[in-house]
Structure formats: structure tokens, C-alpha cells
Amino acid sequence: MPASDNGFLDQARPAGRAYRIRVEGRVDETWSSRLGGLRIEGAQGSMESPAHITTLEGTLPDRASLLGVLNALHDLNLELVSVETIRNGSVAVQTVPEEEDS
């Protein structure tokens, strides 16, 4: 890789990272622009899990954008179910652990 004028190697900056975020509750599709432009889809609960789960999916440019989306969901008082990083079609899941009753 060629060095730039400042002596550092030139590296292509990634165009962002794809995420799938699931929250318990409803998020209206009109919130997409306030949530990093992520696509918003809702799903009704099932007999095993009666809660309404909303899925937000798309590409965010950096970690600060991801944190902004997560903070906005927190401000809406929505419980985070999972955050998945999607790389080359495979998914790395980070599930939020259940809080223990004290």
C-alpha cells in the first residue's frame, strides 16, 4: 500500500457497517430519519413471546452513529433486545442480557 505525504499508509475508509437492531415496542416508520436512516419493520408477538418487536436495519457510517441510534431508542423508553453486526452476509449477534431481579 503506498504511503501518503504524511507518512501513513493510505487505507480505504470503510463505507460503514450494517446493523440489525431489535427493540421491544413499536417504532413508527416516520422515525427512520431520526434513527440514522435505518429501515424500520414491526412484527407482532407470538404465543411464546407476546411483545411487539421492532427491527431496525441498515448501514451506519461509524460507532458514533450507532451510539446515537441506541441513545435515541433509550430516550423513547424502548427495551433493547439485540444488536447484530452484519458482515458479508453473516451475522454476529450481541444479545442484551436479561436483568436479574434483586
| Cα–Cα distance list, 32 to 6, 15, 22 (Å) | 39, 19, 14
pTM above 0.75, yes or no: no
Residue found by looking up cell 446515537 in the block: 68
Confidence of residue 42 (pLDDT cuts 50, 70, 90): confident
Domains of the chain: 17-90 (3.30.70.2040)
- Antiparallel, parallel or unpaired: β 39-43 and 17-24: unpaired
C-beta separation of 27 from 42 below 8 A: yes
> 52-89 pLDDT, tens per residue?
899 999 999 999 999 999 999 999 999 999 999 988 76
> 22-33 pLDDT, tens per residue?
999 999 999 999
